[in-house]
Chain A
Amino acid sequence: MEKQRSLTYTLLKPLFIILLIIYPLLVGLNPYYVRVMFFSLLLANISMAWSILAVAGQVSFGHAAFFGLAAYVTGLLAVRLGIPPPLSIPVAVLFSTAVVGGVVAVTFRLREVYFALAMLAYAEILKYIVINTPEITGGSLGLLNIPPLGRIELGSEAIDFSKYIPLYYLFLALTFIVAYVMTRIMNSRIGVALKAISRDELAAESCGINVFKYKVIALIVSAIITSSMGAIYAHINRFLYPEVAFSMEWSIFPIIASLFAGYEISILGPAIGAVILYTVKEFFISRLMERGYEIIYGLLLVFVLLVLRKGVLDYIIIKVRELRLGKVIT
């Protein structure tokens, strides 16, 4: 039985990876299709980042705070001070992780619902600060002419990261790294502790788990990944508006993707969920009707929570396991 499972698994995983690697060829290097896929990978990373915090029992409605702050910091460093992106991005990521993360860690002691909406408040506060400091940030008129990611010279060849194809592979590599690190964390002592906390915080604490410490670890991981995505996004998009950088979309999409797929069995579930939901939205639903996808995804969220009571992927995995176990028992 165990062999069967691992066989499907060992077959599916490389297939999925190969599909992602040859994806640009499959769509004939069409820039639109490549662009949609790397955006879905960006959202996949944020969804994994959101989920690790959710596993720690902290549901956030404001991951846009990390995303937007890092985007603005790297944008400002590059535009106002001329600092090259390879340097400004890590500075922005550290800044956003330290500033927002520091405030958020203090809020951990709040009751769950208060925490969720406090996160939203942080994102909104940052948005209004940006809107009201036009001398520095450009305010509502936006921060324009942000330099692109630049190029890497490899002998006579150069990889230009302002082109869609290299950008796609950059994102794919980042996603693999994030997925690998996340899986390692979830399978380690930290992951076990986090799962214990999500089941029953009080019980975990009485077993000698330092709940606060593990929540802070989850927060830092989550913040670094989300901030990195925001910082890179600033250099891809080349301009920022407060309404875009701190858009509720960055907070809401990861929630829907993670809950749709389910994050309890594997941290990769949210990533797969994000890719599925975003590509389906772009390739199918948005073409039929403009607001269609939000309406459908809202309903989907209600359906998943009310009827399945767990994410779709988690549900399928559990059903398949039950079927197998049933076979063994009878």
Chain B
Amino acid sequence: MLELSPIISSIVYGITTGSYYALLALGLSLIFGVMKVVNLSHGEVLMLAGYSSFWTYVIVGSLGLAFLVSPLVGLTVGAFMYWFIVRLVRDKPELYSLLVTFGVGVFLANSMILAWTAEYRSITHPLMILPVDLGIASVNVSNVLSSASSLVLILATYVLIEKTFIGRAIKASAESREIASILGIDVNKVELISFIIGCVLASVAGFWLAVNEYVVPTHTAALTVKAFILTALAGAGSILGVIAAGMILGVAESLFVTFFTASYKELVGFIIFVLILFLRPKGLFGR
């Protein structure tokens, strides 16, 4: 009989990373879907929040406080970035916001390198590395908690967009800014809120990055690109599609590492990206 356990355990591991990937991409995907803005400083916002959590944990020693700090950072950075930068290029073509946020990203990433060097740092909490036996496979407490919180946040975002008044306002301005503002929706406020939500989601992913892996300012571009790949795979504006895209990439990477070589791992995402661009440019769940 074919040995099944390595396949199953790598799938389980893939699903836990996959849900984290979904959280990583959701902020970018939401902002792209609502505002047609690709926030190329997504990875930097995420990393900044990861660092805030890391330093909070190192200085205060409380994991709970470290978890609470990251969304606050996302909120502040998001509000600041939208109001002083993104809002000013909203009347320009799509590429404009891409290039401006790219400039912001270059600035933030290198400021972080200057401030904290390119050293790898991570939050190591004894509780987080305890193994959890799932019957078919064994993972860490941190994997379980990060997948759970990712899924909760994604569902919360879905409910917020689909079931609440503010969500309807967001969807209306995504459809047409002009008509939304004629209907009395304060488009700037709605976009500010969506941008902040996007950055807060990235920040929580930053916390889990610090716990599950490590924070290092040189990896920010790779994170942004991964988030964009997942957005393209899901299709712009599809919130639940992001979960599927995250799972697909997480499982594909994990299986690839198990059966081939770990050094090709990063290539999996790029190949999926190119394939989806060639075969289905609207993404799997895009309209």
* A125–B38 CB distance below 8 A: no
A248 in contact with B104 given A110-B277, A113-B38, A121-B273 (CB within 8 Å): no
Residue of B nearest to A124 (CB): B270
The answer to whether B256 has its CB under 8 Å from any CB of chain A is no
Contacts of A298 in B (CB 8 A): 103-108, 110
Shortest A6–chain B CB gap in Å is 33
Q: How far is the CA of A125 from the CA of B253 in the complex (A)?
A: 15
Which of A149-157, A273-281, A287-295, A317-325 lies at the binding interface? A287-295
Contacts of B99 in A (CB 8 A): 59, 255, 259, 301, 305
Q: How far is the CA of A59 from the CA of B93 in the complex (A)?
A: 12
* B95–A59 CB distance below 8 A: yes
Residue of A nearest to B112 (CB): A291
Please, what's the 1-or-0 string for B91-109, where 1 marks a CB less than 8 Å from any CB in chain A?
0011110111011111111
In the complex, chain A residues 121-138 whose Cβ is within 8 Å of any chain B Cβ: 121-122, 124-125, 128-129, 131-132
* A302–B278 CB distance below 8 A: no
In the complex, chain B residues 258-281 whose Cβ is within 8 Å of any chain A Cβ: 261, 263-264, 266-267, 270-271, 273-274, 277-278, 281
For the complex, would chain A's binding face be called helix, strand, loop or mixed by DSSP majority? Answer: helix
Contacts of A329 in B (CB 8 A): none
What is the total number of residues of chain A having a CB less than 8 Å from a CB of chain B? 40
Q: How far is the CA of A252 from the CA of B93 in the complex (A)?
A: 20
For the complex, would chain B's binding face be called helix, strand, loop or mixed by DSSP majority? Answer: helix
In the complex, chain A residues 276-315 whose Cβ is within 8 Å of any chain B Cβ: 289-292, 294-295, 297-302, 305-306
Shortest A258–chain B CB gap in Å is 10
Q: How far is the CA of A292 from the CA of B107 in the complex (A)?
A: 10
Contacts of B108 in A (CB 8 A): 298
Q: How far is the CA of A248 from the CA of B219 in the complex (A)?
A: 12
Contacts of A292 in B (CB 8 A): 114
Contacts of A205 in B (CB 8 A): none
Contacts of A295 in B (CB 8 A): 106-107, 110-111, 114
Residue of B nearest to A54 (CB): B95
In the complex, chain A residues 245-262 whose Cβ is within 8 Å of any chain B Cβ: 248, 252, 255-256, 259
The answer to whether A1 has its CB under 8 Å from any CB of chain B is no
Our pick among A113, A117, A129, A306 for the contact of B225 (Cβ within 8 Å) is A117
Our pick among A117, A289, A302 for the contact of B103 (Cβ within 8 Å) is A302
Contacts of A294 in B (CB 8 A): 106-107, 109-110
Contacts of A129 in B (CB 8 A): 267
The answer to whether B169 has its CB under 8 Å from any CB of chain A is no
Residue of A nearest to B88 (CB): A306
Residue of B nearest to A300 (CB): B103
Contacts of A291 in B (CB 8 A): 110-111, 113-114
The answer to whether B89 has its CB under 8 Å from any CB of chain A is yes
Shortest A109–chain B CB gap in Å is 8
The answer to whether A162 has its CB under 8 Å from any CB of chain B is no
Shortest A56–chain B CB gap in Å is 13
* A301–B263 CB distance below 8 A: no
* B263–A111 CB distance below 8 A: no
* A113–B277 CB distance below 8 A: no
In the complex, chain A residues 207-246 whose Cβ is within 8 Å of any chain B Cβ: none
Contacts of A299 in B (CB 8 A): 103, 107
The answer to whether B200 has its CB under 8 Å from any CB of chain A is no
Shortest A220–chain B CB gap in Å is 21
Contacts of A259 in B (CB 8 A): 99
A305 in contact with B270 given A116-B98, A289-B114 (CB within 8 Å): no
Shortest B48–chain A CB gap in Å is 14
The answer to whether B58 has its CB under 8 Å from any CB of chain A is no
Our pick among B94, B105, B228 for the contact of A112 (Cβ within 8 Å) is B94
Residue of A nearest to B118 (CB): A291
> Which 7 pairs, one residue from A and one from B, show the smallest C-beta to C-beta distance?
A298-B107, A301-B103, A298-B106, A294-B110, A302-B103, A128-B267, A291-B114
Instruction: Please list 16 pairs of residues, one from A and one from B, whose beta carbons are closer than 8 Å in the complex, sorted by A's number.
Output: A114-B232, A116-B95, A117-B273, A121-B274, A128-B266, A129-B267, A131-B263, A132-B261, A132-B264, A255-B102, A291-B110, A291-B111, A294-B109, A298-B105, A298-B110, A305-B96
Q: CB within 8 Å of A: which residues of B?
A: 38, 85, 88-89, 93-96, 98-100, 102-111, 113-114, 221, 225, 228-229, 232, 261, 263-264, 266-267, 270-271, 273-274, 277-278, 281
Q: CB within 8 Å of B: which residues of A?
A: 59, 106-107, 109-114, 116-118, 120-122, 124-125, 128-129, 131-132, 248, 252, 255-256, 259, 289-292, 294-295, 297-302, 305-306
